[in-house]
Amino acid sequence: MTGPEPVAAASLHDSTPGAIPPHQPGAIPINRTSSGAHATARLDETTRTSSSPASPSAHPVAATGRAGALRRMFRMFACALHLVRGLLTVGLIYPLVGTGRRQALRCHWSRGLLRILGVRLEARGVPIQPGSMLVANHVSWVDVFVINALAPSAFVSKAEVRDWPAVGWLAAQNETVFLRRGSRGHARIINAEIGAILDAGHNVALFPEGTTTDGTHVQHFHAALLQPAIASGHAIQPVAIRYRHPDGRYCAAPAYHGDISLGQCLAAIIGQTSILARVDIGDPIDTADGTHRRELARIARDAIVHHVGGESNHFSG
């Protein structure tokens, strides 16, 4: 159940060939607020945190002292056990159950991982539409589990991940779509594969930036990645992901960006007392009215920028 590394967005070139609604397996209910303007979903019953704007911090504030060291050791050990549990679940239980049960197990496992990492999930906005393509900004490897904790989704990954020990096998068993870079012909095949997943009423999630950021801005979107949803007539739904300290300040710990290694990023995350993953889910965007994919990319990106910040004129393809 380890999440795949997202594919670089430019790999689809210009070929022209994601919370789950409450009734789907593994759903986290989204409850309307009194104003009806937002909805909030959480993995636990913790109190509401501040939503005021926060300024970036150069370095994450880690838990220190003996208590902090013990917390980090416990979380690292728990992560290892949780990974073993995931391997056993995929190897022993997946072959015996159907797609719906697999999705519920993936959702449950992702929630468990977030809990171990000390990440609380807060989802606001509208329910995720079944069979929609979820497009999100990309900050961390944790993004995959944040999305899967809300709506178990098929992710698009570069083909090389398939050959990685353990990770590649887990990704393949969890509906990952592997894309071979630089091949327009293969892109057409992948478009058809993604379209079939959407047609079956399942969600496909991708990161149109094609790379990660530090979470303070949104890079340009590669519109070619949206083609499978357009070709199959399925909606695109924007998902904005932000990581915050419990008091609402920007948290840099989850950012898998620049020269930071996976181990360094994991150490930074488990060094925090608590991290809030705030997810804003936008209205589904219709793709069946002939709107060009560049315009669809602009609309989706603007919806995410509204919550994350950054310029609003970066899209290509």
Residues 39-55 have pLDDT tens digits of: 334 333 333 333 334 44
Is there a domain that residue 4 lies in? no
The answer to whether residue 37 is domain-embedded is no
Total structural domains within the chain? 1
Q: Answer yes or no: is 223 within a domain.
A: yes
For the chain, how many residues are written? 317
CA atoms in the 13 A half-sphere facing the CB of 58: 0
Residue 86: the pLDDT is 93
CA distance 4 to 287: 27
Q: What is the CA radius of gyration of the chain?
A: 18
pLDDT given for residue 106 in this prediction:
95
User: What pLDDT sits at residue 287?
Assistant: 95
Q: What would the two tokens of residue 129 be?
A: 């539409």
Q: Which residues contact 174 (CB under 8 A, 6 or more apart)?
A: 1, 90, 102, 106, 154
Q: Is residue 284 part of a domain?
A: yes
Question: Any idea which residue has 């049960």 for tokens?
Answer: 101
- For residue 50, is it within any domain? no
Residue 2 lies in a domain: no
Q: Residue 295 belongs to what domain range?
A: 9-28+56-310
What DSSP element (H or E) covers 5? none
Q: What is the pLDDT of residues 146-163, one digit of tens each?
A: 999 999 999 988 778 788
49 within domain boundaries: no
> How many CB atoms are closer than 10 A to CB 101?
14
Q: What is residue 3's predicted lDDT score, i.e. its pLDDT?
A: 53
Inside any domain, residue 268: yes
Beta-strand pair 236-244/275-281: antiparallel
Tokens 């900050």 correspond to 139
Half-sphere exposure of 209 (CA within 13 A, CB side): 22
Q: What is the pTM of this model?
A: 0.78
The reported pLDDT for the residue numbered 5 is 53
Rounded to whole angstroms, how far apart are CA atoms 220 and 197?
Answer: 26
Low-confidence ranges of the chain (pLDDT < 50): 7-61, 311-313, 315
Q: Pull the structure tokens for residue 208.
A: 């149109």
Strands 236-244 and 221-222, by their bridges, are: unpaired
CA distance 288 to 269: 41
Q: What is the pLDDT of residue 169?
A: 85
The pLDDT value given to residue 294: 95
> Could you tell me if 150 and 41 are in contact, meaning their C-beta atoms sit under 8 angstroms apart?
yes
Place of tokens 């979380």: 75
